Amino acid sequence: MKNCIVAQSGGPTSVINASAMGVLEENNSSHYYDNVYAGINGIQGILNNHIVNLSTLPYDEVKGLKYTPSSGLGSCRYKLKSYDKSPEEYLKLFELLEEHEIKTFFYIGGNDSQDTVHKFSIYAREHNKDVKFIGIPKTIDNDLPIMDHTPGFGSAAKLIATSVLENFLDASVYPAKGVFILETMGRDTGWLAASACVATINGIPAADFIYLPEVAFSAEKFLKDVSKKLTEKNHVFVVVSEGIRTKEGKFIGEASSTGLDKFGHAQLGGVCAFLKNLILETNTAEKVRVLELSTIQRCSMHCASQTDIDEAFEVGKAAVSYSIEGISGNMIGIRRLSNSPYTSEPFALETSKVANNIKYFPLEWINKEGNNVTREAYEYTLPLIMGEPKISIENGLPKYTFLEQAFNK
């Protein structure tokens, strides 16, 4: 018997389930593995033996996952220690894999998840374990190095740009001078905030200013930027990343932080509220409205990119194909082949080049004033938001798939 297992980790995306379905459907075509298991709630669930055999579930019950947001297999935030510090976790995992006759582990996740793939693959190699570990990327933050972009980013970018367009129009209806501030996710990098650049009205960018973590934020300069723009027009639209920080490296949103997550990352938020108070306290504008997009950026299938869904599905399929070739300790990335027409392809890269590394937004794509992005950012992002998903509708709302029986095991 030769089986595989797929699991999801970290923050969800609109398209993470498409990657899981890519794994299942590619195996349905190749019949290489006898069974495709799912680890419910990632590595944490697997270590608790919360494992479900997807191959035994009626296909009609699972096929809708491809167009369902969030992590259909559940998720976790679990920092795997090194073997030297926590050998029991490794011994337990391989005991469970052997019990289920699992030969390949597919882990869908971001930077920290690829670190898990890397650690387990090293252990397997050093201890002569016949199990392959392959990473499948996901993160709306688009901060995994080497690859062109990550599954999940295109759909988040589409939601952000759409929100900018709609709120731009809403904020423009009153005669009084005002400022609208929209806050995106992005703890370390500005890819998400920068994606607002594709939102245009009559060919003109809707966002007047875009502030990214890659450039030190100055409250004084921010107020000058807004004040000057208000002399030119009545309404100023600002997009800001939650990860902006001072030149000393202090997050602007730290004052509103709710602490640290399980990976030791600051849980940020409230940047737009801080900037609102700054504007009002200095009488820079009469009216300020703010919107923190928060988790809607990662669960909006109704505004997802079909290009993103298709690529997420393809990297899942590619992971199975590469596993048949015998690779381990690799992640499946996306390589852009052409912008016009847009084409891409999956490829394998070593997880050691991804784990614990970050791909920052290019400084050369930020304008010299540090308050917006260049045409290169627009051309990079635009192809990734193309296409609208054909979602099943029931009673006027999206019909999504929830594997209730898997969670209630």
Indicate which residues carry an active-site annotation.
Answer: 141
Measured between alpha carbons, how far apart are the two ends of the chain, in Å?
A: 24
Residue corresponding to tokens 């369902």: 68
Identify whether the C-beta of residue 296 lies closer than 8 Å to the C-beta of residue 6. Answer: no
Q: Which two tokens stand for residue 64?
A: 């809708």
196 exposure class (CB count in 10 Å sphere: 0-12, 13-18, 19+): buried
Q: Which two tokens stand for residue 268?
A: 């940020």
* Residue 316 neighbours by CB under 8 Å, 6+ apart: 18, 19, 20, 21, 22, 23, 24, 25, 26, 106, 108, 136
- Bridging pattern class, strands 51-53 and 35-39: antiparallel
* Residue 380 neighbours by CB under 8 Å, 6+ apart: 365
**Euclidean distance between CA atoms 271 and 334, whole angstroms:** 32
Q: Which two tokens stand for residue 311?
A: 């690529």
Identify whether the C-beta of residue 269 lies closer than 8 Å to the C-beta of residue 297. Answer: no
**Euclidean distance between CA atoms 269 and 187, whole angstroms:** 9
Query: Which run of H or E residues covers position 43?
Result: helix 42-47
Q: Which two tokens stand for residue 54?
A: 């997807």
Concatenated DSSP letters of 246-274:
-TT--BGGGGG---B-TTS-B----HHHH
